[in-house]
Every structure is written in C-alpha cells, then in structure tokens.
C-alpha cells in the first residue's frame, strides 16, 4: 500500500496549530472532501503534513479538517 504525504494549505495549518495534539508531533483527523466524502483517522504531522495510505487525495479537494476522537 502506498503512502502519500500532502502539504496542507495555510488556512488548515493555522487551524490545526491551535488544536491539541493526539500524540507527540501528530494529530488524528477527519478530512472532509468536496463532494461529501469523509476520510477518518488520518494522521497529520506537525499540524501541516497529511499522511494518506492507499488512496490518493488532492489538496485542492480538501474542504476542512477536524480532530477525530
């Protein structure tokens, strides 16, 4: 399975920086894509790099990101 690392846009990085970390240096998030698809339990490193396993995600398709409990 391939791993893709995506640099998140500044607007999302600014939001994630103000939220707590899930663990040291990372956050687990839900990613809401345009078109209604929601990807759960994805890891964001240093509030700025989205790590996606398997399926490709285009940064332009990301509508918003929220912490995933």
In whole angstroms, give the CA distance from residue 64 to residue 40: 12
Q: Does the predicted TM-score (pTM) go above 0.75?
A: yes
Tell me how long the chain is. 69
Q: Which helix (H) or strand (E) is 1 found in, with range?
A: none
Residue 7: the pLDDT is 96
Residue 56: the pLDDT is 82
pLDDT band at 61 (very low <50, low <70, confident <90, very high): very high
Residue 25: the pLDDT is 96
pLDDT band at 12 (very low <50, low <70, confident <90, very high): very high
Tokens coding 67 = 């912490």
């Amino acid at each position: 399975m391939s791993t893709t690392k995506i640099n998140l846009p500044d607007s999302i990085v600014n939001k994630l920086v103000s939220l707590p970390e899930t663990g040291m240096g990372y956050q687990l998030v839900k990613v809401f894509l345009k078109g209604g698809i929601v990807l759960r339990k994805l890891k964001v490193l240093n509030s700025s790099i989205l790590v996606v396993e398997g399926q490709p995600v285009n940064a332009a398709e990301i509508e918003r990101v929220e912490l995933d409990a």
